[in-house]
Structure 1
């Protein structure tokens, strides 16, 4: 079965999150995703609030930029929320937008090296290991969590280019692909990830989460086109979808056939009704997606 989600975009003020979380929980949405985009809203703080305000919907964070966060702090925060809300968080990390990382003095000379070291350390800490490492970026001296999760959660990582995809395939438990990834891009990414995965875990499921820009209602096509132009993605074919539930469900299934295990519908930045969008995804699109 394809998992279906929606994004609460951080262009919305934080005080609107609660109503959207309640709508997601009540309507039966599979997953509600949050972003830690600079300089909008914090990923862990919004995830904690969303988990506390809901009972069943899974809350995804896509993604925590690793240059901004000491890996021990990230492990402590994820572990704390996993113990309070076991199995309901979906945790993603990534390079972060390099221009933003430069603005805060956190840009890494080798983002790939940092991501590899970070994933190894984070997954080890969440598995209850005691770690000493002296890497290029990650420095830990006899560090272990006093309150590790009862069950270590999968750690997903964002990737676009082939080099990052290989690192994610080797070191992460799943991948998050941006809304600039068409169906052919999903297939290509899946091939790279599969080839990079260690033989010991190659047969295990590997989540492939893909964002899909979507809009419904009056002016939907124009809003999607404007959003893609704003992101300089309007020249990439086969991106975004606008229309009724049937049209959007067909696009979701097309993405699933290409290899996505979870399709997360991303409203346009000017979506007039974020709660209504979440209910639309859960109540009208979800029943049409196997």
Structure 2
């Protein structure tokens, strides 16, 4: 079955999060995803609050930009979330937007090397291993978590280009694709991820979850809002991106992504969505029943 989620966009002030979480929990939303976009809201702080305000809903962070984070801190925070809220936190890491990384003096000369080193160390620390690492970017001297998670913690990687997709297959437990990914793009990404998994000797029977965001607009002015957001991102000429309309239209777009290889589809409202709580309710109560 396809998992269906929704995004709390960081264009909203953080004090709005509690009401959105409350509605998501009330209507049975499966997953609520948060972003650590510069310079808006911290991913771990908002995830911890959302997990504390809910009892069942899974909370995803997609993505934590690795240039901003020492891997030991990411591991400590991720482990704490999983011990306090077992099985409900979803961790995703990625390159981060390079212009933003430059603004804070954290831009890496080789983002791919940094992400690879971070993934390897993060997954090992979360497994409870003790590490000494002298990499190009990640350096650890006899580091282990005092409070590792009680069980396995999947770590997802955000990826777009072929090299990062192959790295995600080789070194991550799942892949997060942006809303600029069409169904054909999902098929291509899945193929490249599998190439990376095979090259790294990963067990073909191991699950590798593919998560994709779907830019979604519903209600009055939906088509105009969708067009405006795609134009602002320079994507108006790309076919197959986003959906505007009622629950049936959105469910059909979700099905196309699922058939292309997505395990989880996360509905991403436009940045000017007028009713974030209503969007979550729409996702769970109207779209979910129409998605296999």
Query: With structure 2 as the length reference, what TM-score do the two structures score?
Result: 0.98
Aligned mate of 1:254, from 249, 253, 256: 256
Structure 2 counterparts to residues 102-113 of structure 1, below 5 A: 102-113=102-113
Q: Per-residue displacement from partner, 1:225-252 (whole Å, max 9, x unpaired)?
A: 0011111111211100000001100110
Counterpart residue number, 2:135 = 135
Structure 2 counterparts to residues 46-125 of structure 1, below 5 A: 46-125=46-125
Which ranges of structure 1 fall in alignment gaps of 5 or more residues? none
Q: Per-residue displacement from partner, 1:174-221 (whole Å, max 9, x unpaired)?
A: 000000000111000000001110334222221000000001111000
1-structure distance, mates of 2:168, 2:252: 29
Q: Describe the SS at the equivalent of 1:148.
A: coil
Counterpart residue number, 2:271 = 269
Equivalent pair of 2:170/2:202 in contact (CA under 8 Å): no
Structure 2 counterparts to residues 203-242 of structure 1, below 5 A: 203-242=205-244
Deviation at 1:151, TM superposition (A): 0.8
Q: CA RMSD in A?
A: 0.6
Q: Describe the SS at the equivalent of 1:128.
A: coil
Over 3 Å counting, the alpha-carbon distance change for 1:269 and 1:200 in structure 2 is closer
Query: With structure 1 as the length reference, what TM-score do the two structures score?
Result: 0.99
Q: Per-residue displacement from partner, 1:99-153 (whole Å, max 9, x unpaired)?
A: 0000000000000000000000000000000000000000000000000000131
Equivalent pair of 2:132/2:143 in contact (CA under 8 Å): yes
Q: Count the aligned residue pairs.
A: 290
Counterpart residue number, 1:278 = 280
